[in-house]
Amino acid sequence: MTNWPPGSRTPWFLKTSFLRQLPNLLSAARLALAPLLFTLLWQRRYGAALWVIAAAGVTDGLDGFFARLFHAHSRLGAYIDPIADKILLSGAFLTLALDGAIEKWLAALVLGRDAGILLFAAGAFLFTKSWQSFPPSIWGKASTVAQIAFVVALLLHFVGYASQSLVTFGMWSTVALTAWSGLDYLRRARTRL
């Protein structure tokens, strides 16, 4: 006796509506964590903020895992997953800068690069009247990893588990990779236009 429908590699019980929506629900949960993270950062409750970041990281990993496991890739998930990541990361930089925990120019660099990418995408859509895929480059992914690592190192420093030299290294890595990825996106945008 088999539970496998003909022509499918996924058991029928994994094809339920809830399981197919699980990746999107996890992305939405990560998005819902954003106000809590920003509040904790503003209140300088850095230990609790680390737990929220850990939960966001776990949901980020699980949504991709479940999307592959249940063959549950969706257009909604393709939009909500990176949006949740950007809101969490950009909001963390903004909150930390407004509170004086990091330099304002650093937050301006990170937010400015993302704003530039969004403006390019909007401009390309307006002028071409069609949505073109603009996937992240290896440099864009590297800068995102550096930004996440910097925020985590900073919070670990604030709670006494990381040295100032690690924070400084993370900050300059973030600056270099964010600036380089911004130039790379600009180069790619010019070749597309």
pLDDT digits (tens, 9 = 90+) for 121-144: 777 667 766 655 667 789 988 999
C-alpha distance from residue 163 to each of 54, 76, 154, 169 (Å): 20, 40, 9, 10
Q: C-alpha angle with apex 135: 129 to 138, nearest 5 degrees?
A: 150
By the 8 A CB rule, do 175 and 109 touch? yes
pLDDT tens digits for 27-79?
899 999 999 999 999 999 999 999 999 999 999 888 888 888 877 777 777 77
- Alpha-carbon distance of 171 to 164, in angstroms, equals 10
